[in-house]
Amino acid sequence: MKLKGLILDLDGTVYRGSEAVPGAAEVIRDLHKRGVVIRYVTNRANRPGYVVRDQLLGMGLDCGPDDVITSSDATADYLKPGPVYVIGELGLREALDAKGFVIDEKRAEAVIVSFDREFNYAKLAVATKLISNGARFVATNPDRALRLADGIVPGTGSIVAAVAAASGVEPLIIGKPERLIFDTTLRSMGLTADEVVAVGDNLDTDIPAGAAAGIRSAFILTGISTREDLATAKVQPDWTVANYDELRVVLEGLL
């Protein structure tokens, strides 16, 4: 293959906390200069892409206006515009609005569930009734928990699980480890799967999503999964690298 594009996970791959992973900015900058298309892909759905872009720029990372793909963006890209009911925050609502969706509880053809810090029984009840009456059940991503500086908090997957339990229906999932978010990403890049490498630190989400989309993957040991986890991983990466120096060597061989 000749490398034309690179898909990068964010937390644990490009940055940790408020700082870029060592070597990330330099490798990404060099690839940009050589014409490689870069996309940053995240399951986090509550923040608009432009907010994520500002964060990346503040860390010294190259990031163009269209370089961030969130699971909210992928959800809006995948579904046909129409009336929907939304459990989610600004990032999802803005992504849907930009694609012509209308949030209408009474006429909703789909229930879209995402991260929502104001989730409550009333929202659960509305979602359950709509799904029980035939509305499509869609989840931006399945991440059950988020790791913050002071501990673990519920993620989108916990809310999705509540809606699934109440309605008796399993959702269509857009984000990693499913392939749909990568399908959206490839379209935005104008590239095919065999022209791209996906890089991620999570053997449960990043690497399976790449495999499902037919994209070769590099597992980088800068985040959540460890080298020991490889032994039990259901999907194996094409490459395993310890850091960005090793990733550079792999990618140089593909250019």
**Which positions are annotated as active-site residues?**
9, 11
Phi, psi of 142 (to 5 degrees): -105, 10
Pair 76, 95: CB distance under 8 Å = yes
Identify how many contiguous H helices and E strands the chain contains and give both numbers. Answer: 9, 15
Q: Which residues have a Cβ under 8 Å from the Cβ of 134 and sit 6 or more positions away?
A: none
Complete edge-to-edge strand list for the sheet that includes strand 5-8 = 68-70, 37-42, 5-8, 196-200, 216-220, 239-241
Phi, psi of 229 (to 5 degrees): -65, -20
CA nearest neighbour of 75 among 125, 38, 115, 121: 115
Quote the tokens at residue 140.
């931006």
Quote the tokens at residue 133.
């009456």
Q: Which residues have a Cβ under 8 Å from the Cβ of 102 and sit 6 or more positions away?
A: 81, 82, 83, 84
| Number of residues assigned to the chain | 255
Residue 43's alpha-carbon distances to 46, 55, 133, in angstroms, are 9, 16, 28
